[in-house]
A = this chain, B = another copy of it.
């Protein structure tokens, strides 16, 4: 299906149906990927209402002009950037940034898709509730994009990913039709689950313009511990023990390798070292309990119950101490960035396969070259950020020609365990080929059939998730 560029004549048509304010955004910020990897093209339009989004999509549909929905722009797989082909309309949700309503009694918040995650967290806190989605980009990521990519983050082990936080969406479909699915219902078995289909479809089936989100009670008592474990297998064992003792009250369970801590030293990121000797493997975990109970005591009891398998540990005795521990975890991505990875991976495997994956991967990579590996992440979800770096003192630019071999080796290994080559970040444009390589053929055929059915002219974020036809 031939698509047409958003040329000046088309822009004139948009100007005729939209207020000037919709064209006021400085386009530059919308056309560069946050890490500068890709530079896009497009006509940036910022509607202020679902009706304006509908009018834009109807016009694009009629003229077969591609549309790239743009939320916070923090995605890491190029879903928000089109480098070539017909010039798209870049549809920014930034002006649709209102909290529509808060219902503390029923633990629900209704928001425009353009609200920044941190603002949702704040509105929830002001109502005495918790919006549990939390990730590094929460100061700029917007709800629409977080839902479109089914974002994960630190608290998935307890609360699930973005999809699990969403009760309903309002969306505009390829032809401009508005679907009002802003449900506050906990149960509704009337027809196909289109909410979960749009969530995670990365703007390739429609544009999410609003969402009703599930709030949670804020755990009254929280505590954080960092435990030293002898191996990834011991970390998985500790996860099992913690699950049996603490049930669903584990809010986060992160694996940290010494490479990440060494990187903090190497790039001189200020942090408080929790142990005199940097441990090879450690676990950072958070527990949240109802009022009147002591999560510190629960963590101490857990430590005792490990019967020496956990060789050392610190349990934060104040919010400040807990923050210092979490600062370490949250500084690792920045340290990675400064060191400069050759290839980064966002894989998941069944939790019990994590130790075997971590054992086998370095040997396979050693056949390609001499690398440093920083393996860390959301062990509670079987999700590892497995990042490969040049040896000390060398630059990643020297290893460009090995990047594909590294990536293929890591992805092949994850796939051999029944794992995923994109646990959190989605497909975007970067991983379209990976999806074709590793995806189940029947699944890919279903995806293509659904794409063609809901977006018959192929205007919705063409080239993202599925190859443009």
User: Cβ of B194 and Cβ of A447 under 8 Å apart?
Assistant: yes
CB of A376 to closest CB in B, whole Å: 15
User: Cβ of B422 and Cβ of A190 under 8 Å apart?
Assistant: yes
Given A173-B446, A427-B191: A246 and B290 within 8 A (CB)?
yes
Residues in B neighbouring A192, C-beta threshold 8 A: 197, 200-201, 205, 446-447, 450, 465
User: Cβ of A189 and Cβ of B424 under 8 Å apart?
Assistant: yes
Residues in B neighbouring A446, C-beta threshold 8 A: 173, 179, 192, 194, 454
B-facing residues in A398-434 (Cβ within 8 Å): 418-427, 431, 434
A–B pairs, 25, beta carbons within 8 Å: A156-B186, A179-B442, A181-B440, A185-B350, A185-B420, A186-B382, A187-B382, A187-B423, A187-B424, A188-B420, A189-B420, A189-B425, A189-B426, A191-B435, A191-B443, A191-B444, A191-B447, A191-B465, A196-B197, A197-B197, A197-B450, A217-B243, A217-B244, A449-B453, A450-B454
User: Cβ of A427 and Cβ of B350 under 8 Å apart?
Assistant: no
User: Cβ of B449 and Cβ of A185 under 8 Å apart?
Assistant: no
CB of A174 to closest CB in B, whole Å: 10
User: Cβ of A187 and Cβ of B161 under 8 Å apart?
Assistant: yes
Q: Does A216 contact B (CB under 8 A)?
A: yes
B-facing residues in A333-379 (Cβ within 8 Å): 348-352, 378
Partner of A422, one of B150, B189, B219: B189
Q: Does A277 contact B (CB under 8 A)?
A: no
Given A179-B446, A217-B247, A453-B453: A351 and B291 within 8 A (CB)?
no
Residues in B neighbouring A103, C-beta threshold 8 A: 350, 352
Task: Provide the main secondary structure of the chain A interface.
Answer: mixed
Besides A187-B381, A193-B199, A449-B454, 17 more A-B contacts (Cβ < 8 Å) are A103-B352, A105-B352, A128-B244, A156-B186, A157-B186, A180-B442, A184-B418, A185-B348, A186-B382, A187-B378, A187-B382, A189-B422, A190-B427, A190-B438, A220-B247, A446-B454, A449-B453
The 8 A CB mask of A211-226 against B (1 = contact, 0 = none) is: 0000011011000000
User: Cβ of B443 and Cβ of A291 under 8 Å apart?
Assistant: no
Given A105-B236, A197-B196, A246-B290: A442 and B187 within 8 A (CB)?
no
Partner of A190, one of B163, B177, B439: B439
Residues in B neighbouring A278, C-beta threshold 8 A: none
User: Cβ of A184 and Cβ of B350 under 8 Å apart?
Assistant: yes
CB of A186 to closest CB in B, whole Å: 4
Q: Which residue of chain B has its CB nearest to the CB of A178?
A: B442
CA distance A411 to B380 in the complex (A): 43
User: Cβ of B105 and Cβ of A185 under 8 Å apart?
Assistant: no
Q: Does A152 contact B (CB under 8 A)?
A: yes
Given A164-B164, A293-B293, A453-B450: A106 and B352 within 8 A (CB)?
yes
Partner of A173, one of B196, B244, B422, B442: B442
Partner of A193, one of B108, B197, B418: B197
How many residues in A have their beta carbons less than 8 Å from beta carbons of B?
A: 98
Q: Does A392 contact B (CB under 8 A)?
A: no
The 8 A CB mask of A284-321 against B (1 = contact, 0 = none) is: 00001011110000100100000000000000000000
Q: Does A149 contact B (CB under 8 A)?
A: yes
CB of A55 to closest CB in B, whole Å: 15
Q: Does A97 contact B (CB under 8 A)?
A: no
User: Cβ of B453 and Cβ of A189 under 8 Å apart?
Assistant: no
CA distance A219 to B290 in the complex (A): 15
Q: Which residue of chain B has its CB nearest to the CB of A188?
A: B420
Given A197-B196, A418-B184, A442-B173: A435 and B348 within 8 A (CB)?
no
Q: Which residue of chain B has its CB nearest to the CB of A249?
A: B290
CA distance A240 to B164 in the complex (A): 21
User: Cβ of B420 and Cβ of A190 under 8 Å apart?
Assistant: yes
Q: Does A383 contact B (CB under 8 A)?
A: yes
CA distance A106 to B356 in the complex (A): 14
Residues in B neighbouring A247, C-beta threshold 8 A: 216-217, 219-220, 288, 290
